[in-house]
Amino acid sequence: MKLYRLLTEDDTAAFCHKVSEALSKGWELYGSPTYAFDHANGVMRCGQAVTKEANVAYSPDLKLGQQ
């Protein structure tokens, strides 16, 4: 089964670390990153979709970050 996650974070090094950690765990980039202004908090936010093939059955309780 293919797992999907959308990683988001304020536009800081924390976002790059979050994506790098996912890549180090076997996740692959999916599409282009996104970048938008968060009006409610007054900051720029980044997003990147990632996917990963996994030998698990889908469940809404599946902890994607632990895969």
pLDDT digits (tens, 9 = 90+) for 12-61: 999 999 999 999 999 999 999 999 999 999 999 999 999 999 998 888 88
Residues spanned by the domain of 12: 2-59
pLDDT at residue 3, rounded to an integer: 95
Provide the number of structural domains found in the chain: 1
Q: pLDDT band at residue 66, thresholds of 50, 70 and 90?
A: confident
Is 64 part of a structural domain of the chain?
Answer: no
Question: Which helix H or strand E contains 53, and what residues bound it?
Answer: strand 43-53
Question: Which helix H or strand E contains 31, and what residues bound it?
Answer: strand 28-38
Nearest to 64 by CA among 32, 22, 31: 22
Alpha-carbon gap, residue 11 to 54, rounded angstroms = 29
